[in-house]
Every structure is written in C-alpha cells, then in structure tokens.
C-alpha cells in the first residue's frame, strides 16, 4: 500500500508573523506611549510605581529595536528560532524565555548592585579597576566576532546541553546572561534615570524588579521571532558582515565605557557643521574599504583594508556622538564655592550650582542646554555658574549634595547669596524648560536685591 502522505510542511518564511507583531504592539501600547514621550525616567517616577514599570517595559522594548541589538538576532535565532520543523513553537518559546530570563537576571543584578552601593555606584563607572575589565570583555567579544577565536562552552558542558536539543535551555540562559551587555550603548537616558533613582532610594526590591522588567521589554522582540518561526538563510558572507557589524558595535561599547577615563575625548569635537559632515563621510568610506565585506582571514591587503575600514567607521561614529554632545558655547564656570558666592555678592547676582560627574552622560548633555543662546544669556546675566564635580562620591561630595538637596544627577540649583533656593532642576531638560526655571529664579534674585536696597 502506498504510504499515507503526511502533513505538508510550510517553510518558516511563509508563516505569517504579522498577527503576532500586531498583538505585541497592542499589548505594549501603554508602555510604548510612555517611553516614547521624552525618554526621561523622572516623568514616570512622578506618576507612581505602575507607570514606572510600564515605562521600564516600554523603554526596554524600544531598546530592542536599536542597532545595538540587531547583531544579536542571528545568534538568538540560531538558538531557538531557526530550526524549522525540528523544533515545535512551544519549545522555541521556552528557549526564548530562558534567554530573556537570563538577560533579565543580568539587569536585575545590576539594579540590586546599584541599590546596595547607593550614591557610590555611579563612581564605579569612573573607576579604572571596574571600567577596564568591562572594556576588555567588550574587546574580547568583538575579536571573537571578527574571527580571532571562537567562544565555545567546554566540551563536557556542550555534550550535556546537546542532550536537551541544540544548545538547550542552559545554553539559551547563558547566552541571555551576556546578551544584555551588547545593548548598553543604546540604553539611553531612561536607563540612566532609572539607575539614578535606584542609587538614591537604595530600594533593592524596587531596583531589581524595575531592571528585570526593563529586560523583559527587550525580550519581546525575541519572543516574537521565536513564535513566528522565522528562519535564516544559509550562513555565508552575509553572516560575516553581520558579525563584523556586531564587532564594531561592541568596540563602540568599549569606547562608551572608557570615555569617563579619557577627558580629552570631551574636547576632540567641534560644534561646527564641517565636523559633522566629516564624521558622516568617514562611515561610508570605511564600509567601502571593507569594514563589513572583507575578512581578517584574507590576504595582507584585505586585512589592512578591513582594519582601516573598521577604524574609519568607529572614528566616524565617535565623531557623530561627540559632535552631538558638544555645546556651541561654554558658561564661564568656577569650581570654587566660596569664590562663586563672593563674586555673586559683588555683582548683585545669584549662584547657579551644577552638580556633575564624569560618568554622568545626562550631565554632559545638559551642557548643550546651557550652550543655547537664550539660556546662556539668561544665566550669565543673573547668576554666577558654579560647577561641583562629584565623580568621586566621597564624603566631601556627599556633603555638597546634602547641603543643596541634590539627590540625583543631573541636578542644577539656583540660590541667592544667602543660600536660599530660588529654582531647581532635577533632570535633563531642553532649553525651553530650562528658561521656565531660570527666568522666575532671576526675577526672585532681582526682587531680593531691590528689597535689600530699600531703606
């Protein structure tokens, strides 16, 4: 008798992930709406814990759509999404869940660590003994993607994992533990504000769960990919190009973490347009030389072209980043508190106290707001700018922060010469929002001066 034909297998590429994507968007709508507002955690903090969790989830999902996460997709599909008919949808989802839980554990540990360390946590990001090993890990992972060596589990571990299929749940979980680090350069101001909240409140449970929910938001993309049974074409040159892109993003991540240790990196950019266009031009030139399509396993000429191409792409990316962070003009800062108040009394002004740290990216971005023409004029007309660097997080830094009530960074406090607060900013703001604080504060300073002159 002829064999009864079995069910016709439809290729994974023909399955329709659209309903899954639509369902994900509907479920994520509240969190996405919040995370898309302006990206600042402080706005969600003011609404309460429910909104903080929704914002964390939505911001995590938006992070998963950034270029930093893209190189992870082929790797994760290879674990749970690219095995076609050999793996059921339920198993793929379980493997994806193991991966996401691993990622969530990494971020939860980060939240708990920042909560336990409190205000000194941020200072760790300016400590060479912490930063250099992190950068070394990024460089090693980049070298692996460039083909210098293979990152494999020990043979005995691999054999045990193979018994549960492929790399198994343990392998997916282990990959998730390190997968979250790749997205670090794209986490943005939301995660910075979240970590600032955790270090201030020192809430271990709140910090751990908020970071875990953030990672769950990042994991939605991987659940969708696993459920949709999307498969990849056979490996080839396109996979080498994806690995090269991932390697370059990891190197950029190393630069991101290394920057607080290299002050000269804050002054290499110019706010002029020529610097922007030059940086932009370096990137396609690097790609044309072979940053993506050539291999370090080719001829000597190929290796040189590849290396130069990678260097130009990184230089262009660094140039764009530093250009974005470079203000058009700098306030005439003083770093001596006593001298600042003496100058303010002599000139009939108030004092603007700006708390900053080398590891605080939002603090650096605040310089762009200070450099706005209207903000610059409003501040210099009525205030003496005083910058207090609290990068070390030592007792003196904490005393300064306690004196002015600067619990989080960035923090800008406007005071009169008697130390009375006339205005306060607790997060990164745009020029218009800054002016809404500076101008009323300036009026209070003028009113106080007039009252002092009235007999």
Look at residues 307, 326, 345 and tell me which one is the last residue of a structural domain: 326
Give yes or no: residues 177 and 32 share one domain.
Answer: yes
Give the burial string for 211-224 (b: 16+ CB within 10 Å, else e).
Answer: bbbbbbbbbbbbbb
Give yes or no: residues 136 and 277 share one domain.
Answer: no
Q: How far apart are CA 188 and CA 184, in angstroms?
A: 8
Look at residues 261, 287, 315 and tell me which one is the last residue of a structural domain: 261
Which residue, among 3, 11, 440, has the nearest Cα to 231 in the 3D structure? 11
pTM over 0.85: no
Q: Which domain holds residue 292?
A: 268-326
**Joined tokens for residue 295:** 């291999």
pLDDT of the residue at 280 = 94
Is 332 among the domain residues? no
CATH number at residue 431: 3.40.30.10
Q: How would you classify the pairing of strands 383-389 and 350-356?
A: parallel
Give yes or no: residues 221 and 344 share one domain.
Answer: no
Per-residue pLDDT of the chain (455 residues; tens, 9 = 90+): 444 444 443 444 334 444 444 444 444 444 444 444 445 566 666 677 888 888 888 888 877 776 666 656 666 666 654 444 455 667 777 777 888 888 888 888 877 877 777 655 566 666 777 778 878 877 887 787 787 765 554 555 445 444 443 456 666 677 777 666 666 656 655 676 677 677 666 778 888 888 888 888 888 887 877 777 555 555 556 667 777 887 887 788 788 778 777 877 877 888 889 999 999 999 999 999 999 888 888 889 988 999 999 999 999 999 998 888 888 889 999 999 999 999 999 999 999 999 988 877 778 889 999 999 999 999 999 999 999 998 877 788 888 888 898 877 889 999 999 989 999 998 788 899 899 999 999 999 988 776 666 55
Give yes or no: residues 236 and 320 share one domain.
Answer: no
**Joined tokens for residue 203:** 């809430």
Give yes or no: residues 310 and 381 share one domain.
Answer: no
Give yes or no: residues 90 and 112 share one domain.
Answer: yes
Give yes or no: residues 67 and 191 share one domain.
Answer: yes
Is 280 among the domain residues? yes
Give yes or no: residues 359 and 449 share one domain.
Answer: yes
Which residue, among 307, 285, 291, 286, has the nearest Cα to 241 in the 3D structure? 291
Number of structural domains the chain divides into = 3
Q: What is the dihedral of CA 407, 413, 417, 419, to 10 degrees?
A: -30
CA distances (Å), origin 190, targets 41, 218, 261, 287? 5, 14, 23, 31
Give yes or no: residues 177 and 288 share one domain.
Answer: no
Which residue, among 178, 203, 262, 159, has the nearest Cα to 45 in the 3D structure? 203
DSSP conformation letters of 298-363: S-HHHHHHHHHHHHHHHHHHHHHHHHHT--SS----B--HHHHHHHHHHHT-EEEEEEE-TT-HHH
Give yes or no: residues 207 and 237 share one domain.
Answer: yes
pLDDT of the residue at 378 = 94
User: Is the link from the previous residue into 410 a cis peptide, with omega within 30 of 0?
Assistant: yes
What does DSSP assign to residue 261?
G
């Amino acid at each position: 008798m002829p064999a009864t034909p079995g069910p016709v297998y439809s290729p994974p590429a023909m399955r329709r992930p659209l309903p899954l994507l639509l369902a994900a968007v509907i479920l994520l709508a509240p969190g996405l709406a919040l995370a898309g507002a302006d990206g600042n955690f402080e706005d969600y903090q003011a609404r309460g814990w429910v909104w903080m969790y929704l914002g964390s989830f939505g911001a995590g999902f938006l992070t998963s759509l950034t270029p930093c996460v893209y190189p992870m997709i082929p790797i994760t599909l290879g674990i749970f999404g690219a095995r076609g008919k050999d793996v059921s949808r339920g198993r793929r989802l379980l493997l994806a869940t193991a991966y996401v839980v691993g990622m969530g554990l990494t971020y939860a540990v980060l939240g708990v660590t920042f909560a336990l360390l409190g205000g000194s946590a941020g200072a760790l990001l300016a400590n060479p003994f912490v930063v250099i090993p992190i950068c070394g890990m990024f460089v090693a992972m980049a070298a692996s993607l460039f083909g210098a060596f293979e990152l494999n589990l020990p043979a005995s571990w691999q054999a045990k994992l193979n018994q549960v299929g492929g790399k198994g749940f343990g392998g997916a979980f282990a990959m998730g533990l390190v997968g979250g680090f790749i997205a670090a350069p794209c986490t943005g101001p939301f995660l910075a504000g979240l970590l600032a909240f955790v270090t201030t409140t020192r809430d271990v449970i709140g910090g751990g769960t908020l970071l875990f929910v953030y990672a769950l938001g990042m994991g939605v993309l991987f659940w969708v990919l696993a459920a949709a049974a999307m498969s990849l074409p056979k490996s080839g040159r396109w996979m080498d190009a994806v690995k090269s892109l991932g390697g370059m993003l990891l190197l950029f991540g190393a630069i991101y973490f290394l920057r607080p240790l290299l002050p000269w990196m804050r002054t290499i950019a110019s706010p002029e347009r020529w610097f922007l266009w030059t940086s932009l031009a370096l990137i396609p030139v690097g790609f044309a030389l072979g940053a993506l399509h050539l291999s370090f396993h080719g001829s000597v000429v190929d290796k040189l072209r590849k290396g130069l191409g990678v260097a130009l792409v990184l230089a262009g990316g660094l140039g764009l980043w530093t250009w974005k962070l470079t203000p058009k003009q700098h306030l005439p800062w003083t770093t001596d508190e006593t001298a600042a108040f003496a100058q303010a009394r002599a000139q009939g002004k108030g004092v603007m106290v700006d708390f900053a740290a080398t590891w605080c990216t939002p603090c650096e971005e605040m310089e762009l707001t200070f450099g706005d023409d209207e903000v610059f004029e409003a501040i210099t007309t009525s205030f003496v700018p005083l910058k207090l660097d609290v990068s070390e997080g030592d007792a003196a830094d904490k005393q300064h922060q306690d004196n002015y009530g600067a619990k989080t960074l960035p923090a800008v406090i406007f005071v009169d010469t008697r130390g009375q607060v006339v205005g306060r900013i607790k997060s990164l703001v745009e020029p218009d929002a800054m002016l809404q604080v500076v101008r009323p504060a300036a009026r209070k300073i003028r009113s106080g001066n007039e009252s002092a002159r009235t007999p």
